[in-house]
């Protein structure tokens, strides 16, 4: 592909050939960075350091960055862009690489680099899901122009994944638990002023509220275990329609389901397959909750399942449309269309499906047809690779 035929949906796509990259590397190393004192300082930094040319290609990094990307030599990073080195899932979607897909429009790293090359200091955050491992990272990126004979950008990268994850989990946990406990407390106050003969009508509500608290606690425990690679799976043969019917009964009782309906798609068929029922139920429940939250009152969402080739597919459809801005970030950890108290729903769906159930998740959203999420699982479970 010639430089003239390169296509991009965001940042410029053209690159320098390796012979020019090597000249830039050699020229850069002639600066004072090559002295032992400066090299020692750079390599003891806790942040990752990259120096990029005006095509966003790496011509220098510190040892910390080299260790993170698991490369033994700096020669292996020369000419590549940050997303390619960090194995971002979108970096290989187009031949033109990192920065050129529509998803890159929402990448804080690409924006910060472009600003740095334009002579502006910038600080941005970016979220990356790695292609092979499925691991989610969140980085804080600082960029600035570097005064040399070339137009260069220096890029410092801090991994803030644990900080973001902890804060998000705490916000979500406290938000959901407090909401449920407030409902429970309100119910208890009503009972305290009621006559004994009225107690029975509140028993079912108390049981449902207490079960919801337990469910929220277990959900957070599962997600924490999943991210730490500690979640245990219990594989048994399951019926797809049995799962669907159980979840329909459970989810219709959620407060968010008030004045909304959950229908089972009549084209659904029963499929016997091997999976962990608890984990797959958590995945589909999250899809149903998200669909209900996106659906106006007096509207219906539909759920269903079918056999498809050597897989079973479950789907959840709602009539609402997700704007393109939302679609570009939908599986990123901490991204949410709701509030700062939300943000792990679709991320946890992808994490549990791909890392623990050997499956995959896709979605499609159009103004004319609404939004459908589909999760595919093999009929015969195989332990995912570590």
Rg from Cα positions in the chain:
25
- pLDDT mean across residues, the chain: 84
Q: What is the pLDDT of residue 200?
A: 75
pLDDT class of 329 with cuts at 50, 70, 90: low
> Is 214 exposed, middle or buried, given 0-12, 13-18 or 19+ CB atoms closer than 10 A?
exposed
Region 261-265: mean pLDDT is: 97
CA distance 116 to 54: 10
Q: At what angle do helices 277-294 and 240-251 cross, to 10 degrees?
A: 50
Of 266, 290, 296, 278, nearest in space to 225 by CA: 278
Region 254-262: mean pLDDT is: 88
What is the three-class DSSP state of 133? coil
Per 3-state DSSP, what percentage of the chain is helix, strand, and coil (rounded to 5)? 45, 20, 35
Q: What is the pLDDT of residue 341?
A: 38
**pLDDT higher than 90, residue 337:** no
**pLDDT higher than 50, residue 28:** yes
Backbone angles phi, psi at 76, to 5 degrees: -80, -10
Q: Is this structure's pTM higher than 0.95?
A: no
CA angle 212, 255, 177 (to 5 degrees): 40
Region 300-304: mean pLDDT is: 97
Structure token pair of residue 11: 């940042």
CB-based contact 191:199 (threshold 8 Å): yes
Of 36, 50, 106, 55, nearest in space to 82 by CA: 50
CA distance 299 to 292: 9
CA distance 62 to 157: 11
Backbone angles phi, psi at 176, to 5 degrees: -70, -45
Q: How would you classify the pairing of strands 151-159 and 136-147?
A: antiparallel
**pLDDT higher than 50, residue 287:** yes
CB-based contact 112:124 (threshold 8 Å): yes
CA distance 243 to 247: 6
DSSP 130: B
DSSP 344: -
Structure token pair of residue 108: 């804080």
CA distance 231 to 185: 33
pLDDT-wise least confident of 17-21, 199-203, 233-237, 278-282? 199-203
pLDDT class of 41 with cuts at 50, 70, 90: low
* Better-scored residue on pLDDT, 172 or 142: 142
């Amino acid at each position: 592909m010639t430089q003239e035929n390169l296509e991009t949906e965001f940042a410029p796509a053209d690159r320098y050939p390796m012979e020019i990259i090597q000249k830039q590397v050699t020229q850069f190393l002639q600066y004072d960075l090559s002295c032992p004192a400066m090299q020692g300082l750079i390599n003891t930094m806790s942040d990752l350091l990259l120096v990029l040319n005006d095509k966003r290609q790496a011509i220098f990094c510190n040892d910390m960055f080299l260790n993170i990307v698991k490369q033994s030599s700096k020669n292996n990073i020369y000419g590549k862009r940050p997303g390619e080195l960090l194995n971002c899932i979108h970096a290989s979607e187009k031949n033109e690489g990192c920065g050129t897909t529509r998803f890159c429009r929402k990448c804080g790293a690409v924006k910060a680099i472009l600003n740095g090359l334009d002579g502006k200091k910038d600080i941005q955050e970016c979220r990356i899901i790695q292609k092979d491992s499925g691991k989610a990272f969140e980085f804080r990126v600082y960029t600035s122009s570097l005064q040399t004979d070339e137009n260069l950008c220096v890029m410092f990268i801090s991994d803030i994944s644990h900080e973001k994850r902890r804060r998000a989990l705490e916000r979500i946990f406290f938000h959901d638990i407090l909401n449920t406990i407030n409902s429970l407390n309100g119910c208890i106050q009503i009972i305290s002023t009621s006559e004994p003969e009225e107690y029975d009508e509140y028993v079912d509500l108390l049981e449902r509220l207490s079960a919801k608290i337990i469910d929220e606690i277990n959900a957070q425990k599962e997600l924490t275990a999943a991210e730490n690679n500690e979640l245990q799976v219990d594989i048994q043969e399951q019926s797809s329609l049995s799962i669907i019917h159980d979840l329909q009964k459970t989810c219709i009782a959620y407060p968010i389901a008030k004045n909304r309906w959950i229908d089972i798609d009549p084209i659904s068929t029963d499929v016997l397959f091997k999976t962990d029922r608890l984990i797959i139920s958590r995945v589909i429940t999250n899809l149903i909750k998200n669909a209900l939250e996106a659906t106006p009152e007096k509207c219906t969402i539909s759920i269903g399942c079918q056999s498809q080739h050597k897989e079973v597919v479950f789907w959840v459809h709602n009539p609402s449309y997700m704007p393109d801005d939302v679609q570009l970030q939908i599986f990123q950890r901490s991204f949410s269309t709701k509030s700062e108290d939300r943000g792990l729903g679709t991320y946890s769906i992808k994490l549990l499906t791909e890392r623990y159930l050997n499956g995959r998740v896709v979605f499609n959203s159009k103004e004319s047809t609404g939004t459908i999420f589909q999760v595919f699982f093999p009929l015969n479970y195989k332990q995912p690779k570590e």
